[in-house]
Amino acid sequence: MGITEEFHTIADCIATGCLLAGLASWFWSHERYRRFISSGQFCLVPCLLVLALALAIHPRVKWLIGIPLFNLAVALSIDRWTRFPNVDVVGKCLNWRPLAFIGVLSYSLYLWQQPFFVHSGHHFWYVFPFNVIGAFLVALASYHAIEKPFLALPTSLPTLV
């Protein structure tokens, strides 16, 4: 297993997403953040992505600055294009129905891609395009059989008092 596949080296990506989800309304309550995320100045954020990728050639700089910068830029981009889906070409593209459907399946794909993407495997389902088709079929079945029914459950818990 490579270093980029170990949990302790990718946990910051997950943590950044969790922070965005947990603090989204707090960020939105600040006027400066709202102005920035909705303005033309936001075009600086994709530039941060490019800078973060450019820093990847130096391992220490990559891990100390590049990856945190990349995570921040991705989190800001997600916030912008979920709040303003039709403001620019990227938002419109991300809200295109086929891509939005992949987003709906993303958790199931995350759970089920591993059995189909084995680099050392010798079965046909490890080979492109069969691995992609297999992962999508199992994720689709899992979404409809498990995830969707759980999402339909009531969200409030009964009180014990």
The string of pLDDT tens digits covering residues 8-53 is 667 888 888 889 889 999 999 999 999 999 998 999 998 988 888 8
Instruction: Return d(Cα 152, Cα 51) in angstroms, integer.
Output: 42
What pLDDT does residue 122 have?
Answer: 76
In percent, the amount of the chain with pLDDT more than 90 equals 37
CB atoms within 10 A of CB 93: 11
**Residue positions counted in the chain:** 161
pLDDT of residue 65: 85
| The residue to which tokens 């949990």 are assigned | 7
How far, in Å, CA of 118 to CA of 32, rounded? 46
Cα–Cα separations (whole angstroms), residue 106 to 8, 27, 109, 112, 142: 22, 25, 5, 10, 11
Residue 74 near residue 16 (C-beta atoms within 8 A): yes
| Contact (Cβ atoms closer than 8 angstroms) between residue 79 and residue 73 | no
CB of 101 closer than 8 Å to CB of 91: no
pLDDT of residue 56: 79
Position 6 confidence tier, pLDDT thresholds 50, 70, 90:
low
